[in-house]
Structure 1
Amino acid sequence: MNQAYFQLPSDKQKRLLNSGYKLFSSYPYKKASMIAIANEADISKSLLFYYFKNKKEYYLFLFDTAVDFVDELKGKSINKEIKDFFQQINKTIERRMEIIHDYPYLYKFITRAYYETFEDIKLEIDKKKKIMLQTKEEEILNIIDYDKFKNPKDVEILFDIVLSVAEGCMRGLEDLDISKMQEKINEFKVMMNCLKKYYYKEEYLTKL
């Protein structure tokens, strides 16, 4: 790619990212139009190809950047001082909402990229799938206080349930403003409190 991209103001870099995430999350790789992406970014097609020599390079750059954002999220979300399972989960979701606010289509893009079937792209993505995990499950499970649970053996099952609930809550957030996103976070916390009542011992049932 042309290093001139990195010399663009941050708002223009962000617009180029979001335009690609939006179009490539809405259409498979082969059908996504670079003209439509350029129009979404409010630049000419020739300028888009000035920054990225072809569609494949642009797509893989979007993917690598998305993975970097997710990795950064992991690093910020995991606090080794917090031993409570539900506090760790809520912190992770709040950080994830921050990314969705700035890059609304990023997670949809990652999901579509994961299942991309166009052979030339699929081969590249397959090499990168190991770094596509969106949560540091093992890290959280190694930190938390298992004594709070009625049955510590249930924790891994609970983790899967929580991830499913989180995915459901975040679906369709692309066009919501920050206040609506906060409502979603609050809804998620209510659901976590219900799970907490079921899985935690009575003496640990303080409000989330």
Structure 2
Amino acid sequence: MTDNTGSDDPTSSQGASAAGETPAADGKDDSSGAETPAPRKGSKLGAVKELAFLVAIGVATAFLLQSFVIKPFWIPSESMENTLLVGDRVIVNRLDGDVERGDVVVFKGWDGADTIKRVIGKGGDAVKCCDDKRRITVNGHPLDEEAYLYPGDYPSDPFEVKVPQGRLWLMGDHRSQSVDSRDHHEYTGDGSISEDDVTGRAFAIFWPLSRATFLSTPETFTKLP
């Protein structure tokens, strides 16, 4: 942003200080007979117009960012604890490209409302619970979920699914408190959601400040082939 400090200041524009003159008190002439330059009304009006223009640009930029690039969301439930707590505010990137396993995403849920969960499987993945160590597997490879799974929760009750192409299998980190793909698969036969229903990836908690942090993909997902 251009620094306009002093550009419309009547004193500096007239060069009174640079000339070494001292303005006369009460509007009287100084010893040299020079008069104090009167403030220019036009320059003040110009400063107001410029400020209004900059405010308008800022508002328009914020609107465009929220409409097309990033958007804040509030967490209303316990389904993603302890990754996300009730009352947390997150920022969602709406232009982040392809969704990957392990991403925390906001999407249009099964009831049409904005919902936030973690991507466990993508189109073509075979997702199953559980192996002999009670771990969820993706294409036969176990997930080490200790880093994000709610303490004391088991990964899930048994299920096995082949995720259709173009769709996602999503689960909350607080498994015992999350209504997610597992429940809808049980009741409807297809708990996945379309990739087109994804609003974006949550990449940071910004409020409260005491919890502000970036949300990264757990390492266990980066090890999947």
Q: Which has the higher contact order (CA 8 A, sep 6+)?
A: 1
| Structure with a larger share of its residues in helix | 1
* Greater gyration radius: 2
| Structure with a larger share of its residues in strand | 2
TM-score range, shorter chain: under 0.3
